[in-house]
C-alpha cells in the first residue's frame, strides 16, 4: 500500500476513533483498541514497506513496536521479524549489541509459539524446531546448546512426522550424533533416530519432484551416522547382541538390525549371521540373503553363497546396495576363475553406481589375472596390462573415496611394471601412443605404453 494512502487512512481513523486506547498485548486482541490499534496498524504497514525493500535497519524500529504492542496481529510479524532480526545480527560487529539481537531472535520464536502455537500447519513443535536450528547455527560447538536443543528437535519430529522438512531432519541427525559422541545419548537411541529419519526421507523422496535433493540428504545422514562411532560393527553388536534372544520372531527388529549390519559391512559378525537366519525364515529380504551368503562364503560353500547373493540382488531395491551385491558376486566368480562372469557382474554394479571405483578395480584385476593366457607371445601377454591399468585409472577418475583411490594407485604401480619396454614395442612396428586392439573375451581398445 503506498505510504501516502497509509498515512491518510491512519489520520482518518485517528479522527474517527474512540478515545479509549489499549494495546493488543494488554487485552489479547489482534490490534488493540483506540489510538493504540491505530499505532499498531501504522507500524505494521510502515515496517512492511521497508521489509519488502530488504531495508531491515529502517524496518526494525517499526516492526519492534508492533512485535511488543500487538503480538497477536498476524503470523507474518514473526516470519518477517525472524529475517529482520537475523539480518541485523549478522551485520552487527559490536558483541554486546549482537547478543541483544540474538536474545530478541530467540524471543521471536517463543512469542510466535505463545500466540500462534496452535496453528495446524506450523504448530509449536515446528516453531521450536526452527528455533533449535537457529541456536545451533550460531552455537555449533557449544555443548550446552547441543543438549538444550535435542528435546526440541525430537519433539518437532515426533509431532510433524513425515511433514518434517529435510533441513530439520538433517539437523536432528547431526545433533543426535554429536550427543552420542558426548556420551549424552545411548547408542541404541541414535540407531533408532537414524533408521526413522532415513525412512522418513525415503518416503518424502518418493513423493518429491526433486528426488536428487533427497538422495543427497540421505547420503549426508548416512555419513553422519557412519562417522558417529555407533555404526561400527563392535558397537552394533554390543547394543543389539544381548537383545537377539528376545527378538528372534520380531520382524521389524530383525530387519532394522540386519540392514544396519549390512550397511556397516559387518559380514564377519556373528550377530549378522544369526539375525540373517532368523529374518530369512520369517521374511526373505535382500539384507538377510546377503548375510547368509557372507556366512557361506566364510564356511567355503561358494555354491550356496552364490545362490543367496543372487537372491539378495533380486530382492534389493536400493541401487547402492544392489551394486555392492553385484560386485561381491563378481569377486566370488573371480575366485572361481570365471572371468567373463566376473566382468559382467562388475559392469552391472557400474550401471547402478557410476561413481564407485571398486567394480573398475575388479575388472582391472580380472584382466591382469588372464594376461598370461592371452595371445601366443610374451608381447601379447603384456598388452593385457594396458587394459588392466585403464580400468584402475577409470576407478580413480570416478571415485572420491581415499581408500579406493589408494587401491587404484597401488594397482597402477604394480601392473605398469609389466608393460612391454620401448624396444619390444619397436619390434612390433608400434610406437607409444598408438591405438591397440585386444581381442578375445576382453575385446577392448587401449593405448600403447612403455614400461618406465
Cα–Cα distance list, 282 to 252, 263, 279, 316 (Å): 11, 21, 5, 17
What pLDDT, in 10s, does the model give residues 394-450?
Answer: 999 999 889 999 999 999 999 999 999 999 999 999 999 999 999 999 999 999 999
Percentage of the chain exceeding pLDDT 90:
69
Question: Is 327 domain-assigned?
Answer: no
Same domain, 68 and 6: yes
Question: Is 299 domain-assigned?
Answer: no
The three cell numbers locating residue 18: 474512540
Cα–Cα distance list, 82 to 49, 307, 432 (Å): 16, 58, 65
Taking the mean position of all CA atoms in its chain, how far away is CA 161?
18
Could you give the CA distance from residue 205 to residue 197 in angstroms, rounded to a whole number? 12
What's residue 315's pLDDT?
93
The three cell numbers locating residue 306: 552364490
Could you give the CA distance from residue 379 to residue 391 in angstroms, rounded to a whole number? 20
More confident residue, 272 or 384: 384
Query: Does the pLDDT at position 20 exceed 60?
Result: no
Could you give the CA distance from residue 146 to residue 307 in angstroms, rounded to a whole number? 48
What pLDDT, in 10s, does the model give residues 370-409?
Answer: 999 999 999 999 999 999 999 999 999 999 889 999 999 9
Question: Is 292 domain-assigned?
Answer: no
What's residue 2's pLDDT?
52
Query: Does the pLDDT at position 79 exceed 60?
Result: yes
Same domain, 101 and 173: no
Number of H-type helices and E-type strands within the chain:
22, 2
* Strand, helix or coil for residue 353: coil
Tell me which range, 9-13, 75-79, 253-257, is most confidently predicted by mean pLDDT.
75-79
Domain count, the chain: 3
Could you give the CA distance from residue 370 to residue 279 in angstroms, rounded to a whole number? 40
Question: Is 251 domain-assigned?
Answer: no
What's residue 318's pLDDT?
92
- pLDDT, averaged across the chain: 90
Tell me which range, 19-23, 198-202, 336-340, is most confidently predicted by mean pLDDT.
336-340
Among 81, 116, 151, residue at a domain's last position: 116
Mean pLDDT of 72-77: 92
Same domain, 142 and 188: yes
Same domain, 31 and 77: yes
Binned at pLDDT 50, 70 and 90, residue 25 comes out as low
Identify the weakest region by mean pLDDT among 89-93, 262-266, 288-292. 262-266
Same domain, 1 and 90: yes
Could you give the CA distance from residue 195 to residue 8 in angstroms, rounded to a whole number? 59
Among candidate residues 408, 390, 361, the one with its CA nearest the CA of residue 448: 390
φ, ψ at 438 (rounded to 5°):
-100, 120
Mean pLDDT of 4-27: 50
- For residue 437, the cross-strand partners are 445
Same domain, 181 and 105: no
Same domain, 4 and 111: yes
What is the maximal distance between C-alpha atoms in the chain? Answer: 110
Binned at pLDDT 50, 70 and 90, residue 267 comes out as confident
Query: Does the pLDDT at position 19 exceed 60?
Result: no
Could you give the CA distance from residue 129 to residue 152 in angstroms, rounded to a whole number? 6
Query: Does the pLDDT at position 4 exceed 80?
Result: no
Cα–Cα distance list, 41 to 7, 27, 52, 63, 84 (Å): 11, 16, 17, 11, 19
What's residue 6's pLDDT?
46
What's residue 418's pLDDT?
96
The three cell numbers locating residue 292: 547368509
How many alpha carbons lie under 13 Å from residue 403 in its C-beta half-sphere? 2
What's residue 5's pLDDT?
45
What pLDDT, in 10s, does the model give residues 296-334?
Answer: 888 889 999 999 999 999 999 999 999 999 999 999 999
More confident residue, 265 or 366: 366
Q: What sign does the CA torsion over 32, 36, 42, 43 have?
A: negative
Mean pLDDT of 90-119: 95
More confident residue, 13 or 72: 72
Q: What is the pTM of this model?
A: 0.57
Could you give the CA distance from residue 396 to residue 414 in angstroms, rounded to a whole number? 15
More confident residue, 443 or 1: 443
Mean pLDDT of 106-115: 96
Question: How is the chain split among helix, strand and coil, in percent rounded to 5?
Answer: 75, 0, 25
- Domain of residue 422: give its range: 347-452
What pLDDT, in 10s, does the model give residues 166-218?
Answer: 999 999 999 999 999 999 999 889 988 998 998 899 899 999 998 999 989 98
Question: Is 261 domain-assigned?
Answer: no
φ, ψ at 384 (rounded to 5°):
-65, -30
First to last CA, the chain: 77
Query: Does the pLDDT at position 288 exceed 90?
Result: no
Query: Does the pLDDT at position 37 exceed 90?
Result: no
Question: Is 339 domain-assigned?
Answer: no
- Looking up cell 597402477, which residue turns up? 412
- For residue 435, the cross-strand partners are 447
Could you give the CA distance from residue 107 to residue 97 in angstroms, rounded to a whole number? 15
Angle, helix 378-398 to helix 358-369, in steps of 10 degrees = 170
The three cell numbers locating residue 107: 524471543
Same domain, 57 and 100: yes
More confident residue, 373 or 236: 373
- Looking up cell 594376461, which residue turns up? 371
Same domain, 97 and 169: no
Q: What is the DSSP string of 400-421?
A: --HHHHHHHHHHHHHHHTTS--
What's residue 13's pLDDT?
43
What's residue 36's pLDDT?
67
Cα–Cα distance list, 264 to 49, 133, 227, 230 (Å): 54, 29, 11, 10
Same domain, 153 and 56: no
Among 198, 231, 264, residue at a domain's last position: 231
Question: Is 406 domain-assigned?
Answer: yes
Identify the weakest region by mean pLDDT among 5-9, 185-189, 233-237, 333-337. 5-9
Question: Is 355 domain-assigned?
Answer: yes
Same domain, 444 and 402: yes
Among 87, 116, 145, residue at a domain's last position: 116
Query: Does the pLDDT at position 3 exceed 70?
Result: no
Burial of 195 (0-12, 13-18, 19+ CB in 10 A): middle
Query: Does the pLDDT at position 33 exceed 90?
Result: no
Same domain, 185 and 112: no
Query: Does the pLDDT at position 10 exceed 70?
Result: no
Could you give the CA distance from residue 34 to residue 294 in angstroms, rounded to a whole number? 78
Beta carbons of 388 and 368 less than 8 angstroms apart: yes
Could you give the CA distance from residue 29 to residue 70 in angstroms, rounded to a whole number? 8
Element spanning 6, H or E: helix 3-16
Amino acid at each position: 500500500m503506498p505510504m501516502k494512502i497509509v498515512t491518510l487512512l491512519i489520520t482518518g481513523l485517528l479522527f474517527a476513533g474512540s478515545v479509549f486506547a489499549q494495546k493488543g498485548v494488554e487485552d489479547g486482541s489482534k490490534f488493540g483498541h483506540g489510538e493504540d490499534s491505530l499505532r499498531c496498524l501504522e507500524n505494521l504497514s510502515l515496517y512492511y514497506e521497508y521489509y519488502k525493500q530488504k531495508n531491515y535497519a529502517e524496518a526494525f524500529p517499526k516492526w519492534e513496536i508492533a512485535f511488543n504492542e500487538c503480538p497477536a496481529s498476524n503470523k507474518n510479524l514473526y516470519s518477517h521479524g525472524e529475517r529482520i532480526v537475523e539480518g541485523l545480527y549478522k551485520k552487527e560487529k559490536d558483541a554486546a549489541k549482537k547478543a541483544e539481537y540474538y536474545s530478541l531472535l530467540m524471543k521471536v520464536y517463543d512469542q510466535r509459539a505463545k500466540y500462534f502455537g496452535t496453528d495446524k500447519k506450523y504448530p509449536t513443535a515446528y516453531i521450536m524446531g526452527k528455533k533449535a536450528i537457529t541456536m545451533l547455527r550460531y552455537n555449533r560447538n557449544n555443548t550446552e546448546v547441543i543438549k538444550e536443543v535435542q528435546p526440541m528437535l525430537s519433539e518437532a519430529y515426533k509431532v510433524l512426522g513425515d511433514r518434517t522438512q529435510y533441513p530439520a531432519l538433517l539437523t536432528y541427525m547431526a545433533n543426535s550424533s554429536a550427543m552420542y559422541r558426548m556420551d549424552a545419548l545411548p547408542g541404541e537411541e541414535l540407531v533408532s533416530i537414524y533408521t526413522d529419519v532415513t525412512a522418513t526421507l525415503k518416503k518424502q523422496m518418493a513423493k518429491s519432484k526433486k528426488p536428487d535433493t533427497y538422495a543427497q540428504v540421505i547420503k549426508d545422514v548416512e555419513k553422519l551416522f557412519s562417522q558417529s562411532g555407533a555404526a561400527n560393527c563392535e558397537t552394533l553388536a554390543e547394543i543389539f547382541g544381548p537383545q537377539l534372544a528376545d527378538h528372534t520372531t520380531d520382524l521389524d527388529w530383525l530387519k532394522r538390525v540386519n540392514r544396519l549390519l549390512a550397511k556397516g559391512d559387518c559380514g564377519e559378525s556373528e550377530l549378522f549371521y544369526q539375525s540373517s537366519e532368523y529374518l530369512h525364515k520369517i521374511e526373505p529380504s535382500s539384507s538377510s540373503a546377503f548375510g547368509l551368503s557372507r556366512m557361506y562364503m566364510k564356511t567355503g560353500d561358494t555354491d550356496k553363497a552364490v545362490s543367496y547373493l543372487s537372491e539378495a540382488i533380486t530382492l534389493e531395491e536400493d541401487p547402492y546396495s544392489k551394486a555392492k551385491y553385484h560386485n561381491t558376486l563378481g569377486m566370488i566368480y573371480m575366485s572361481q576363475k570365471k572371468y567373463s562372469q566376473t566382468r559382467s557382474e562388475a559392469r552391472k554394479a557400474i550401471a547402478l553406481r557410476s561413481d564407485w571405483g571398486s567394480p573398475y578395480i575388479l575388472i582391472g584385476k580380472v584382466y591382469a589375472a588372464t594376461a598370461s593366457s592371452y595371445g601366443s607371445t610374451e608381447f601379447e601377454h603384456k598388452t593385457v596390462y594396458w587394459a588392466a591399468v585403464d580400468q584402475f585409472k577409470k576407478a580413480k577418475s570416478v571415485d572420491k573415496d581415499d581408500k579406493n583411490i589408494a587401491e587404484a594407485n597401488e594397482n597402477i604401480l604394480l601392473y605398469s611394471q609389466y608393460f612391454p619396454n620401448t624396444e619390444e614395442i619397436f619390434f612390433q612396428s608400434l610406437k607409444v601412443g598408438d591405438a591397440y586392439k585386444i581381442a578375445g573375451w576382453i575385446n577392448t581398445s587401449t593405448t600403447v605404453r612403455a614400461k618406465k
